[in-house]
Amino acid sequence: MKKIFIILIIFTAVISALSVSFIQYMISPVGGDKEKVYFEIKQGEGAYSIANKLELQGLIRNSKIFVIFAKYLKYDRKLLSGYYEIDRSMSMIDIMKYLNSGKKQAMVKLTIAEGKNIYEIGAYLEEQEFTTKKEFLEVCHDKEILQQYNIPADSVEGYIFPSTYYIIKGNSVRTLVIYMIDSLYKKFPDLQDRAQKIGYNIHEILTMASIVEKEMGPLDDPKLISSVYYNRLKIDKRLEADPTTIYAMTLTKGDYIEKPNLRYSDLRMEHPYNTYKNKGLPPGPICSSGAKAIEAALNPADTDYIFFVADGTGKHAFSVTYEEHVKNIDK
């Protein structure tokens, strides 16, 4: 009897030791490296759902054990919504504490510069390791987004508003693109009404703004630049804007041109965006315009100017006649 009792004690001890080892294993880090995983807890999401997602993403070994420990440690109702950056070297308990903090959301700062086209923006986002240029461009051509915003083109070119954005890392590219387009309409909530007042639609205004954005110098009054192009439209004169030809070359290449060097043959190329060959506005914007350029497109200066040329001081010299323009060029 004494022998059986000893065996039972040993057996119980072994089972206890195995149980402890099992529990320690189950709550230990899944991986030993610092590989980052971006994890989202949605508003109102419960412990069971969170645990299942953690297991699916390979951050914990067992969702049921997570829930048991969360309840025991009273973390089950303190798992705060947000977007977290978790690495696989964290234990299950570490993850619980981290999700309970709610303070370390993974954010990335993205600055979209004025005057950049979607090819340049895509390259920038790839450099920032937010997405690939290929994926960004695919979203920029997404038909559902184009329909959602009534964009009469095959891309969202010109509708991405230049600004500094703080984005939750791991968010989809689609979410980012929609957010940046919404920022345009948030900045100009009456864009459609103001465009209609001067006889244009939103697409035409953003097209004009993009040309102004690319042409204006750092010290220019963009409204003067805008007036020149509107005056040319009124008299049915070709815009002859170099940036539109460069964009035509960009579309032909399928990528941005880092240091464009226009030749005479480029100005003669047959392309809808080449305003040296075609009258009127090009089919769409050629870049993302800042607030000043959009405002200039909506409210051009009242002038008779038809020509302008850079004067080397960060501004342009404007003229009404070609003779005056030639004199300005000579200067």
Q: Return the pLDDT at 104.
A: 59
Taken in order 71, 77, 78, 83, the sign of the CA dihedral is positive
Question: Do residues 51 and 172 both lie within one domain?
Answer: no
Tokens of 84: 């977290």
Q: Residue 330 carries which side chain, given as an amino acid letter?
A: D
Strand, helix or coil at 139?
A: helix
The Cα 292–Cα 85 span in angstroms is 37
The Cα 105–Cα 167 span in angstroms is 10
Residue 46 lies in a domain: yes
Residue 39 lies in a domain: yes
Place of tokens 């404007």: 318
Place of tokens 């080397």: 312
Question: Do residues 181 and 203 both lie within one domain?
Answer: no
Q: Return the pLDDT at 18.
A: 45
Residue 223 main-chain phi, psi, to 5 deg: -70, -25
Question: Do residues 136 and 227 both lie within one domain?
Answer: no
Question: Do residues 200 and 310 both lie within one domain?
Answer: yes
Question: Do residues 177 and 204 both lie within one domain?
Answer: no
Name residues of the chain where pLDDT drops below 50: 7-8, 11, 13-14, 17-18
The Cα 155–Cα 97 span in angstroms is 44
Question: Do residues 247 and 315 both lie within one domain?
Answer: yes
The Cα 250–Cα 163 span in angstroms is 23
Residue at a domain's end among 153, 187, 221 = 187
Residue 15 lies in a domain: no
Record the pTM: 0.73
H or E element, residue 316? strand 316-319
Question: Do residues 251 and 155 both lie within one domain?
Answer: no
Domain encompassing residue 263:
191-330
The Cα 248–Cα 260 span in angstroms is 11
Q: Residue 85 carries which side chain, given as an amino acid letter?
A: E
Q: Return the pLDDT at 11.
A: 46
Question: Do residues 207 and 309 both lie within one domain?
Answer: yes
Residue 8 lies in a domain: no
Residue at a domain's end among 101, 120, 144 = 101
Cα 29 to the center of its chain, rounded Å: 34
Q: Return the pLDDT at 17.
A: 44
Question: Do residues 199 and 179 both lie within one domain?
Answer: no
Question: Do residues 175 and 116 both lie within one domain?
Answer: yes
Question: Do residues 228 and 276 both lie within one domain?
Answer: yes
Number of domains the chain is built from: 3
Question: Do residues 165 and 246 both lie within one domain?
Answer: no
